[in-house]
Structure 1
Amino acid sequence: MRIYKLLSVLLEYPNAELREHLAETAQMIGGLEHATPEDRQALLDFIAWAQALPFTELQEHYVKTFDLTPDNALYLTHHLFEEQDRARGPALVKLSEYFKAQGYTIDAGELPDYLPLLLEYVSTLPDEQNARKFLHQAVEVAALLARNLETMESPYALLLHVVERQGQLAEAVAPEAPRGDRDQARTAV
């Protein structure tokens, strides 16, 4: 499993299936593709925290953290545009068009800037360099979210720091993604 897929799953609303497989997930962290030792430890710490909480408390924490606190919204354009900024709509349309052009299908009713969805998409990219370059577009928002979550002492900050670090690794990668795809994605996000 790639680290992006795991991050996508862990940043979704916790369901019974996730809860049931947390112990297995913790065991497979060591073999996780493209994870740094720091990332592996952060993931293990988060999973240990999630396992220690009663399931309903984990769900309540998620809702309080992401659904009831706008500063922690997992929708990237929420953080990139002002509340009444009319540019958010076109950015969402461009991102949807980008996904469609890449052959990636988004469920009806799903906004394309939802971080778990973006991580799911990145997990499908066959080339690690392009995956990190795409994720690099979200580094600023991931860093902002990580700081916000640290302020409220949420363990979800661990996951956002992993997203941030993975995106920053793109800076060390020399080859560029095709310019048209990169610019279209950057403009959208």
Structure 2
Amino acid sequence: MDAQLKKIFHISSFLLTYPDRHWWEGLEDCKNEINTLDDHQDAKELFLQFFSQLEQIEPIKWIESYVYLIDFGRNTNFYLTHGNDGQQRERGMELLALKNLYSNAGFVVTDQELPDYVPLILEFLSCAQNDYVLPIIEKFKASFLQLEKQFIEKKHGYQLIFKIINLSIQKFEDD
């Protein structure tokens, strides 16, 4: 995977985390990184559209939408194995397998987030070797596409981030 695709996954990971004070303060650095994406103009333009939309919204409204859609949304939460089969035991096995994959790749996972949390998955994609990236992409590609669709239906700015993620996955697969 080229360095700019890795950067796209890293930026996307950051933008999909909870919009706390650290997040708001990091947006300018994020924009600076986006401006270096010369080989991926489509992603660059979509990121800039996202920032344009973000600038139109009061921070408290953005935070409220995050809590409503991500923390409480059945179809828009960021835990990708949450709805699988409805079986806690099976989900536990999936989470353990993910944690083991991360560990085998040398990626340290804290107990702060579950291993199926979208920003964590994207951070992994931004730094892992391709041999470890491919199984994650294969496992979650449909989930990323579904999240893009859900955010389009909700008319939320995250639709742009998931479009970027899905375009980047496609570019990775095409290379």
> Counterpart amino acid of 2:125?
V
Q: Which has the higher contact order (CA 8 A, sep 6+)?
A: 2
Q: Distance in 1 between matches of 2:32 and 2:66?
A: 23
What's the counterpart of residue 25 of structure 2?
20
Say if 1:4 and 1:119, in contact at 8 Å, map to a contact too: yes
Deviations 1:71-100 (A, max 9, x none): 011111124x12236422111111111111
> Counterpart amino acid of 2:148?
A
Which has the larger displacement, 101-110 or 89-98? 101-110
CA RMSD of aligned residues (A): 2.1
Which has the larger displacement, 10-19 or 82-91? 82-91
Unaligned runs of 5+ in 2: none
Say if 2:148 and 2:159, in contact at 8 Å, map to a contact too: yes
Say if 1:74 and 1:114, in contact at 8 Å, map to a contact too: yes
Say if 2:50 and 2:161, in contact at 8 Å, map to a contact too: yes
SS of match in other structure, 1:41 = helix
Q: Distance in 2 between matches of 1:22 and 1:50?
A: 10
Say if 2:70 and 2:77, in contact at 8 Å, map to a contact too: yes
> Counterpart amino acid of 2:85?
E
What's the counterpart of residue 95 of structure 2?
92
What's the counterpart of residue 41 of structure 2?
37
Distance 1:15 1:109, change over 3 A: closer
Distance 1:162 1:92, change over 3 A: same
Say if 2:151 and 2:159, in contact at 8 Å, map to a contact too: yes
What's the counterpart of residue 74 of structure 1?
78
1:113-152 matches, cutoff 5 A: 113-125=116-128, 133-134=134-135, 136-137=137-138, 138-152=140-154
How many residue pairs are counted as aligned between the two chains? 169
Say if 1:4 and 1:122, in contact at 8 Å, map to a contact too: yes
Unaligned runs of 5+ in 1: 174-189
Of 102, 105, 121, 2:105 maps to 102
Q: Distance in 2 between matches of 1:93 and 1:24?
A: 34
Distance 1:140 1:27, change over 3 A: same
Q: Distance in 2 between matches of 1:25 and 1:170?
A: 22
